[in-house]
Copies of this chain bind each other. A is one copy, B any other.
């Protein structure tokens, strides 16, 4: 592989001039620039990123760490990140921790190894000690996207989960529902916690008692929706609406409802969360909370790069969601309707 030395020899200049001609053309005579460029092309020059990084102490590379690649929810977010990073001349790598802390640690170590400049974290399922030291200092530049942590303060880009969940539940209440169940994500996850909080807030506001047996812990997956849905619907007194913390779970509920011959939305309303592509194609089309995934990715990347550039940006950004009403929700049967004065 050709180096600056080869170019220098061919162009009859020093390596310093080669470096300048290539990186800062304005610092060099027009003629020199042309000669150097021609020489570089001729020898097939490709800069050695290791040498440059070693010298500059930065790599212009960041890594996105996800807990599980199979979750297609992340694809759009990562895409938004790459889009933005490339505009700023940064490279993006993806690391799949596969829910293995050792692997996650390996990715974080890339910062200390000087292989990447910073980390975008797409999971909150990481022990706090891996992220901050004893004195509460961040161990490396990191921004959380979509997820967030409650016990420490990390730069983060996310939606307002409490507000979004509250709005979704209020929408059901206003239609007359009060027998509302909820399928959550893992309750160790702050996102799930926040969404349950949103539900409770809505209930409190409308003076509806919470039936704790109807708040069931899932894991965002289709199968959790299917199984917990069966548990809810396979009794005499089932809810008239189920608010799910993910579209996947909502689609699982749709499936078990169909198997049990429960008509959606006539007998049962189902509301999801995320607005994944498939939510428009299932039967019936799903009412859900839209998350601006591209924007989350883009914003998180911008935040990280601004931090790396020492721009002291606002370290917490909340992005807007949107309740998208489709065909899986309707007022409950008249005999189960809430009697309230609006």
Contact = CB atoms under 8 A, between A and B. Distances in A.
Copies in the complex: 2
B50 A115 contact: yes
Contacts of A106: 86, 91
Interface in A95-150: 95-96, 98, 103, 106, 109-110, 112-115
Nearest to A63: B93
Contacts of A79: 69, 96, 98
Given A50-B54, A94-B96, A281 B223 contact: yes
A199 to B, nearest CB: 28
A143 B72 CA distance: 25
Nearest to A111: B46
Nearest to A277: B70
Contact of A222 (B94, B110, B226, B281): B281
A94 B95 contact: yes
A214 interface: no
A82 interface: yes
Contacts of A53: 50
A313 interface: no
Contacts of A334: none
A92 B95 CA distance: 7
A187 interface: no
Nearest to A73: B70
Interface in A32-90: 46-51, 53-54, 59, 61, 63, 68-70, 72, 74-76, 78-79, 82, 86
20 contacts: A46-B113, A48-B54, A49-B110, A49-B113, A49-B115, A50-B53, A61-B115, A69-B72, A69-B79, A69-B94, A70-B72, A75-B96, A78-B96, A82-B103, A91-B106, A94-B95, A94-B96, A115-B115, A223-B281, A226-B281
